[in-house]
Structure 1
């Protein structure tokens, strides 16, 4: 048989295409970006950056507003602050305060800036009001000219509203301004050729994420008014870069960061100070492009699409989780040590989704495969037998007729007789409960309901020994109609329906396996099944019993070793027989002898369908009984050719002698001729009786009374006993009923009594006892003869075997008498025992199972 389906498997394309589709869908959502932000924030907050030692903040805090008055303050105040910081030795002063409108104090502030020589002022890019284009908000020209550099104060907020970095260069058109931190550091970046850019275009370059030193208040901070009111403090500000800006609530210059979110936002000036700290230490983080991240995700898709279809589910889980771990580790190492922010969200999400997608594909393919297999199982053979309760009464009657051969029958539908023979409607007894048999003598009746109709079925069973067994069998037979619900609820879910189909298919397979195993176990022969190397893979109970090997040791044992261990032989050796059966695929039949029993073993090669597997089925038959019958047949032929033939030859010789004497017949010659004829008759009679005993079956049993059988046997040998003056004493008055064949039992008892008379001395007594012991009827025949030698007792019941002592004493026998007794006792499921002592006599005890007298 060829397969009509291809093997189902997941290929790189079947897995790669869905994953690629998922990647495209992810790209259209904000999920990957949120994942990247979460990974970044987790690492940055877990490992804050070290703050630079030369950064100090001067904060316009609430205390300063209270003391110096409402904002804005006169610019002369800022000039005095610059002078204080200049006297304290500040290296760079960075204002995060915009000065876009002119003021009367601008000359004083400009002079203070020039005297210091390194003051940085901010600019801002924003539309001046609604419905206007974005423009540069620069300090007034006088202050701008006095500043050593200008820097933009713009901070970029990410999609989730948190500030994580700035563009180091930002401006309109072809004019790019450095950030405040970059301007304060004095560093420069390579020039950027933007080409022809419109003057209203917001141009941004060199985005850098800032590894913050912590939340708000982490950097050293001094109050604006405190610096003004105290003398210069060189120990605080010498050679430091001082950032001046607003930190008091109400100024609006606040930024949520990964450390705080909106709960404790950071002021803009502190954010710029963190930017400067990271910049001068070379700790700013460069963000790798999204294109690279997408390429990494595609590479992960290709890797998983190739690897996952070849792996088991457990290893698939390990691989996917390993990919996530490796990507997360790479992200952390790049961020913390190489200061590179690699967006790995796409690449991380893909393995997490690849596992369920791969599992779903496998489940879908497995589901299709199971459906095909279930369909195959549904079309396959079953071991379900049609229930008798589903058969129509006419069909049941025909089956009963073929099975039991009743002497009469009757089948009626309601009041109408459909079929009848030997029974009439008047014979029908009351049938109260449908489906239950009513047995009256030899008649068996039952009422059946089929399709709303009532049937009455009767059988007249033969009056033989099988009637009772047949009636018991009918009583066990389930014939009552069983009402099964036709509208059984079906599973609503598809998976539930498949599970139910799998359950039913499994039950059918289990029933098939149980049937095969039980069939092997109940076979009369021993069965051994091996694999292609001749190793035993199955053996039924007969093998365990005959070889006397426990079943666990049989499984996995080479067949040749088992046979060599119990019946070693040289020609041909067992291994040669087994190997030739496998290599030549030819059957072999060999004799086998195990524990003094004869067997015939048949080796038959086999091969499994749709498979390369092969092996041997060894069928072992017990032929001990057959060999025993052959031996008995040979002994019978020897017996006939010698014991029966010898007296006949003597008779013929004597008749020839009488012919030569001319008709003169002496009385002694007639007596001799009569003895020879009687001897021939007795030999033939014993041979015929033994054959009858061997053919006896329980079908010829009937109820009989054991004491009457013994009395009849005693009367049959009383004349022979009287000739030797032997007294036969019978003890027993109890009637003992048993099932058996009275004729053969009587012949067996006669043989015992005849032997006792033959081997007893004259004027002795033979005691005959009949009694019951438990559930057995017992007979003991005791004589006062010479007894039987101990070495002859084990062979006493062997056929054609004569006792040596009997032959020496002149009591010639056939050797069939006691063998006949033993056969009859065995056929009646009884026992026979012998107790004998030389010079004291022998006692034969016969035990048979009793039964109740049925009358």
Structure 2
């Protein structure tokens, strides 16, 4: 009896397998037949479309789907994976009208959106429905950045404009008081300069963001770029009794746009001056490391926390908003630096320690040099030169999101400490954060 039961079970198993295989072959044959029934040329057209393409037959089975459709997770087996899209397909088949749908694909076990998709669903002949789907994730991100930028610009413009309006009223009210008029007039001038600077920096940022590379380039002396940038920043530094020490080598060349590069270096020097106490020094050093030129600007200022370091290149981000209002900072300077250097094929690194100081380093490819001796041999006292060879970790920033390497900065003595006159705490027992633009 047991033997008979086993034989019967085996027979049923074999029958089941044969039935399953027959069913699969029938399904494949039906699919093949359905695809052959597609209007002439449709398969070839779908193959070259940039959109993910899916053709559904009258039974809601997927007849043909492009690789992108599978990549987006729109097709599972022979069916559409999205019930919402399947309902739209049904309406299009019934009404014969084109419909569009936006889909948000979330991560598994999470509410965070993985991908934004836009689909256009249309009748295809009398028996099929065509779905064309595009990934809108990047455009959504760009739109969000643009909206955020507009909101920030509006807020930043409103502050000086509002201040000038109030000051104008005050001048009117105190028209008979020359001292008050002079005082309010001076404040109006400062707010006007702040507004002018903000508008100019918005224009500058727009220009460098719109171009993948500078329109005009030439071989430029690093010494000329650094000296010019330092000279332009000295007026503000002298007002705070801050000494800018510069001693770049005279034989290093880079390829790029002179004014843009001077603007980038000056922005770093101005930033160092603005966030440094009176009577301190700002060092600007140049080094040649692995055929790449490093221009480091070091201050003895307030420094930054790790959280601030991660966000310092974001547009309108300020480490100390109160200090920015006093100095007239717009929060755009470092973002401009990031984009200028990125268009020149370089990167910007930042190391900082709270209440000790910061070092911002521009790294650019070398165009040519007459003498490749290291710049550290002639670096002045007080200049801290970072060396990325001692990389120990990573943190990064993209546009507006951070990754990179943690490099321990070293001074002229090559032992990981600062140069003789630079603040020792700036480099000892510290972690350098490299932000790759």
TM-score (norm. length: structure 2): 0.62
Match of 2:409 in 1: none
The answer on 1:750 being equivalent to 2:261 is no
Q: Is the 8 A contact 2:287 2:293 kept in 1?
A: yes
User: Which digits, 9 at most, give the CA deviation of each residue in 1:561-612, with x for residues without a partner?
Assistant: 4xx8xxxxxxxx455345434544422142646665774503232426xx73
User: Which digits, 9 at most, give the CA deviation of each residue in 1:455-508, with x for residues without a partner?
Assistant: xxxxxxxxxxxxxxxxxxxxxxxxxxxxxxxxxxxxxxxxxxxxxxxxxxxxxx
Runs of 4+ more than 6 Å apart: none
Within a 5 Å distance, the mapping from 1:180-329 to structure 2 comes to: none
Shift of the 529–654 alpha-carbon distance from structure 1 to 2, 3 Å rule, reads same
CA distance in 2, matches of 1:542, 1:835: 44
CA distance in 2, matches of 1:541, 1:829: 32
CA distance in 2, matches of 1:687, 1:528: 41
Match of 2:195 in 1: 680
CA distance in 2, matches of 1:836, 1:736: 27
Shift of residue 838 of structure 1? 0.9
The answer on 1:717 being equivalent to 2:229 is no
Match for residue 313 of structure 2 among 797, 815, 821: 797
CA distance in 1, matches of 2:91, 2:232: 64
SS at match of 1:605: strand
Match for residue 698 of structure 1 among 197, 213, 230: 213
Within a 5 Å distance, the mapping from 1:470-481 to structure 2 comes to: none
Match for residue 774 of structure 1 among 290, 293, 298: 290
Match of 2:348 in 1: 832
CA distance in 1, matches of 2:62, 2:289: 52
Shift of residue 728 of structure 1? 1.7
Shift of the 534–690 alpha-carbon distance from structure 1 to 2, 3 Å rule, reads farther
Match for residue 77 of structure 2 among 538, 556, 561: 556
Shift of the 738–676 alpha-carbon distance from structure 1 to 2, 3 Å rule, reads same
CA distance in 1, matches of 2:127, 2:174: 83
Match for residue 576 of structure 1 among 87, 92, 117: 87
The answer on 1:761 being equivalent to 2:280 is no
Match of 2:435 in 1: none
User: Which digits, 9 at most, give the CA deviation of each residue in 1:199-231, with x for residues without a partner?
Assistant: xxxxxxxxxxxxxxxxxxxxxxxxxxxxxxxxx
SS at match of 1:801: coil
Within a 5 Å distance, the mapping from 1:133-148 to structure 2 comes to: none
Within a 5 Å distance, the mapping from 1:334-353 to structure 2 comes to: none
Shift of residue 636 of structure 1? 2.1
Match for residue 671 of structure 1 among 165, 172, 186: 186
Shift of residue 696 of structure 1? 3.2
Match for residue 638 of structure 1 among 126, 151, 155: 155
Shift of the 629–665 alpha-carbon distance from structure 1 to 2, 3 Å rule, reads closer
Shift of the 516–590 alpha-carbon distance from structure 1 to 2, 3 Å rule, reads closer
Q: Is the 8 A contact 1:706 1:777 kept in 2?
A: no
CA distance in 1, matches of 2:114, 2:221: 36
Within a 5 Å distance, the mapping from 1:48-447 to structure 2 comes to: none
Match of 1:628 in 2: 145
Larger Rg, first or second structure (1 or 2):
1
Q: Is the 8 A contact 1:831 1:848 kept in 2?
A: yes
Q: Is the 8 A contact 1:825 1:832 kept in 2?
A: yes
User: Which digits, 9 at most, give the CA deviation of each residue in 1:527-552, with x for residues without a partner?
Assistant: 232433264843455973xx5x7xxx
CA distance in 1, matches of 2:70, 2:285: 44
Match of 1:618 in 2: 133
Shift of residue 723 of structure 1? 2.2
Shift of the 603–700 alpha-carbon distance from structure 1 to 2, 3 Å rule, reads same
Shift of the 807–606 alpha-carbon distance from structure 1 to 2, 3 Å rule, reads farther
Match of 1:604 in 2: 121
CA distance in 2, matches of 1:726, 1:772: 27
Shift of residue 639 of structure 1? 2.6
The answer on 1:528 being equivalent to 2:40 is no
User: Which digits, 9 at most, give the CA deviation of each residue in 1:494-523, with x for residues without a partner?
Assistant: xxxxxxxxxxxxxxx9xx95x974x44xx4
Q: Is the 8 A contact 2:53 2:65 kept in 1?
A: yes
Which ranges in structure 2 are unaligned for 5 or more consecutive residues?
1-39, 107-111, 370-437
Shift of residue 666 of structure 1? 5.7
Shift of the 701–540 alpha-carbon distance from structure 1 to 2, 3 Å rule, reads farther
SS at match of 2:364: strand
Match for residue 590 of structure 1 among 84, 99, 102: 102
Q: Is the 8 A contact 2:202 2:332 kept in 1?
A: yes
CA distance in 1, matches of 2:357, 2:93: 62
Q: Is the 8 A contact 2:308 2:319 kept in 1?
A: yes
Q: Is the 8 A contact 1:582 1:615 kept in 2?
A: no
Q: Is the 8 A contact 2:324 2:330 kept in 1?
A: no
Count of aligned residue pairs for this structure pair: 319
Which ranges in structure 1 are unaligned for 5 or more consecutive residues?
1-379, 382-508, 565-572
Q: Is the 8 A contact 1:536 1:555 kept in 2?
A: no
Shift of the 664–710 alpha-carbon distance from structure 1 to 2, 3 Å rule, reads closer
TM-score (norm. length: structure 1): 0.33
Q: Is the 8 A contact 1:534 1:560 kept in 2?
A: no
CA distance in 2, matches of 1:557, 1:805: 57
CA distance in 2, matches of 1:839, 1:829: 32
The answer on 1:818 being equivalent to 2:334 is yes
Shift of the 541–701 alpha-carbon distance from structure 1 to 2, 3 Å rule, reads farther
Shift of residue 628 of structure 1? 2.0
Say what the alpha-carbon RMSD is for the aligned residues.
3.7
CA distance in 1, matches of 2:321, 2:164: 26
CA distance in 2, matches of 1:577, 1:516: 20
Match of 2:204 in 1: 689
CA distance in 2, matches of 1:807, 1:534: 64
Q: Is the 8 A contact 1:528 1:536 kept in 2?
A: no
Shift of residue 559 of structure 1? 3.8
SS at match of 2:302: coil
CA distance in 1, matches of 2:114, 2:254: 34
Match for residue 655 of structure 1 among 149, 163, 171: 171
User: Which digits, 9 at most, give the CA deviation of each residue in 1:304-344, with x for residues without a partner?
Assistant: xxxxxxxxxxxxxxxxxxxxxxxxxxxxxxxxxxxxxxxxx
Shift of residue 783 of structure 1? 1.1
Q: Is the 8 A contact 2:226 2:248 kept in 1?
A: no
Looking at both structures, which has the greater relative contact order when contacts are Cα pairs under 8 Å and sequence separation is at least 6?
2
Match of 1:784 in 2: 300
